Chain A
Amino acid sequence: SQQGEEDPQALSIQEGENATMNCSYKTSINNLQWYRQNSGRGLVHLILIRSNEREKHSGRLRVTLDTSKKSSSLLITASRAADTASYFCATDDSGGGADGLTFGKGTHLIIQP
């Protein structure tokens, strides 16, 4: 079952612009992670935010978490062509469900040069 849902499904912006992707989830979580996947390759971990955190930064990445709304956002600032990839949120279910880390279907981001 899909816990997280990313929005939008696809996003195309100009190089240098900021890109914002959103993730909504359904159940209580321990933490939420964002991963990137280049076409046909393995996923790469970007950032983890715990349920008691509201915002986290890593380089050009900024992640927010609103547990009351069960949502998270990933902001990539000053986008580059190399940021073109699919971005997935993944949740760690605090209910002890046996779902491993549950991924959404992803946002496909295209950075136009």
Chain B
Amino acid sequence: DSGVTQTPKHLITATGQRVTLRCSPRSGDLSVYWYQQSLDQGLQFLIQYYNGEERAKGNILERFSAQQFPDLHSELNLSSLELGDSALYFCASSPGALGANVLTFGAGSRLTVL
């Protein structure tokens, strides 16, 4: 157990739907990162939050949004889902926002869009 908790583990939904993925970071970590992993694109950085504020943005689609709450848990919202959104979504956490951040990953949420 890495200390980073992601729910749900598996999610099957239909095109056009909206889903929310949840992440609780490791105790003491202030930064949360979201990554998307698919076979063809590899591991893509989506977005980072640090202590409730958006810190860095990567290849996140406009249909996707995220936030980090005062208790530091984070949610990734995916809307108007397309077949190509099927992927493993990982949350990771780290103590700080900058510097040599070692990421601790959760087990991932596997999203299947039918």
User: A interface vs B, CB < 8 Å?
Assistant: 1-2, 30-31, 33, 35, 40-45, 48, 50, 88, 90, 92, 98-106
Contact = CB atoms under 8 A, between A and B. Distances in A.
B4 A88 contact: no
Interface of B: 2, 4, 33, 35, 42-43, 45, 48, 56-59, 88, 90, 92, 99-108, 110
A13 to B, nearest CB: 23
Contacts of A103: 35, 42-43, 45
8 contacts: A1-B59, A30-B100, A42-B107, A45-B103, A98-B58, A99-B56, A100-B45, A102-B45
A contacts with B: majority SS: strand
Contact of B100 (A2, A44, A92, A99): A92
Contacts of A48: 100, 102
A33 B90 contact: no
Contacts, number: 64
Contact of B90 (A30, A31, A43, A102): A43
A36 B76 CA distance: 24
B44 to A, nearest CB: 8
Contacts of A30: 99-100
Nearest to A6: B42
A48 B100 CA distance: 8
Given A40-B88, A105-B42, A100 B106 contact: no
Contacts of B57: 98
Contacts of B35: 100, 103
B47 to A, nearest CB: 8
B45 A2 contact: no
Contact of A100 (B48, B102, B105, B108): B48
A42 to B, nearest CB: 4
B107 A41 contact: yes
Contact of B42 (A2, A45, A98, A99): A2
A43 B42 contact: no
A41 B102 CA distance: 17
B41 to A, nearest CB: 9
Given A99-B58, A101-B103, A103-B42, A42 B2 contact: yes
